[in-house]
Homo-oligomer: A and B are copies of this chain.
Amino acid sequence: MNTSAADKNDKHKTKMQKQKQRIDSQIEKNSLEKGVMIFLTGDGKGKTSSAFGMVLRALGYNHKVGVVQFIKGQQLSGEELYLKNKLPDVQFYQMGTGFTWDTQDRSSDIEAAEKTWSVAQRMLKDNTLDLVILDEITYMLSFKYLDPDTIINSIKGRPFGQSVVVTGRGGGSRLKEIADTVSEVKEIKHAYNNGIKARKGVDY
């Protein structure tokens, strides 16, 4: 090794030692062990898939998981197939109506939303569940299909150790307030706007 490379390695080591100190001291400070509420919002791709990644992560520890999807296309999705065929232990409920622009029927949408919410509400009271996913529930708020107070209170009143992941692009200002972690997924670009067909196993 020449001197310049050795020098680079030394500098790297010092810098990394400092970074490790910073990270370790933050880890040490963080002592509160509780279920977290995560809110994934924004217009970009990756919110629902991120929620399902956490399902997989939780299942790695044999945690118990419940998933409620508040909206779905008429197309079958990969996550739906996987949950139904491979993960019978995951509690899974889907509002079976298609997108609201498919149904075009407000009162049947509201009825379906309320039925779906009652499943979610039961999960949010179930202290055997480690993780609950409320996928696309924000649409139910922006369309005023469900009462925000009821949802906020149910999430806040969930069992102490239970984590909740909420996804959806609009209608989430109050969800932001009560969340421990909020990520906004911004669309920088999307294949969809470039003539590329939605891709099975990636987009749905």
Binding site for B on A (CB under 8 A): 1, 5, 8-9, 12-13, 16-17, 19-20, 23, 26-27, 29-36, 38, 40, 42, 44-61, 63, 77-83, 85-86, 100-107, 130-131, 163, 165, 176, 179-192, 194-204
Within 8 Å CB of A83, what residues of B? 60
Which residues on B sit within 8 Å (CB–CB) of A36? Answer: 191, 196, 199, 202-203
Please give, as numbers and ranges, the residues of chain B lying within 8 Å of A20 by CB-CB distance: 101-102, 104
Complex Cα–Cα for A5 and B86 (A): 43
A98 to B16, CA, bound (A): 12
Q: A46-B40, A101-B19 are in contact. Are A197 and B30 (CB under 8 A)?
A: yes
Known: A16-B100, A52-B56. A180 touches B204 (CB 8 A): no
Task: Give, as a whole number of angstroms, the nearest-CB distance from A99 to chain B.
Answer: 8
**Cβ–Cβ contact B183 & A44, under 8 A:** yes
User: Chain B residues with Cβ under 8 A from A202's Cβ?
Assistant: 36, 38, 54, 57-58, 131, 163, 165
